[in-house]
Amino acid sequence: MESFRLIKKSPRVGVLKTKRGAVKTPFFMPVGTIGAVKTIKPSELKEIGTQIILANTYHLHLRPKEKFIKQKFGTLHNFMKWEGPILTDSGGYQVFSLAEKSKKGKSLVKIKENGVEFRSHIDGSKHFFTPESVIQMQLDLGSDIIMPLDVCPPANSSKKGLMNAVDLTIKWAKLARIYFDRKTKKRGNKKPLLFGIIQGGTDKKLREYCAKEIIKLDFDGYAIGGLAVGEEKRDLWKVLSWMDKIISQDKPRYLMGVGTPNDIIKATQLGMDMFDCVLPTRTARHGVAFVKKNRGYEEIDFRKSKLKNDKKPIDLRCQCPVSQEGFSRAYVHHLVKIDEILGIRLLTLHNLYTYLDLMKKLRAEY
- Give, in order, the Cα–Cα distances in Å from 148 to each of 22, 63, 151, 178: 22, 20, 10, 11
Q: Are 318 and 354 in contact (CB under 8 A)?
A: yes
Catalytic annotation, residues: 89, 276
Instruction: Please tell me the distance from the alpha carbon of residue 48 to that of residue 37, in angstroms, as a whole number.
Output: 13
| Residue among 62, 55, 239, 70 nearest 146 (CA) | 55
Letter for the amino acid at 100?
A: E
CB 314 within 8 A of CB 323: yes
Calculate the CA 152 to chain-centre distance: 14
39, 192, 291, 350 from 147: Cα distances, Å = 26, 10, 32, 29
Contact 174, 196 (CB under 8 A): no
Angle (CA) 92-93-99 rounded to 5° is 100
Spell out the residues 6+ positions from residue 255 whose beta carbon is closer than 8 angstroms to its own. Answer: 223, 224, 227, 240, 267, 272, 274, 275
198 contacts 214 by C-beta, under 8 angstroms: yes
| Phi, psi angles (nearest 5°) of residue 40 | -120, 130
C-alpha pair distances (Å), 331 with each of 284, 286, 335: 15, 16, 6
Beta strands, E only, the chain:
4-8, 13-18, 21-25, 27-29, 53-56, 86-89, 102-103, 106-107, 109-112, 115-119, 126-129, 145-146, 193-198, 221-224, 253-255, 274-276, 288-293, 296-301
Q: Which of 195, 185, 197 is nearest to 225 (CA)?
A: 197
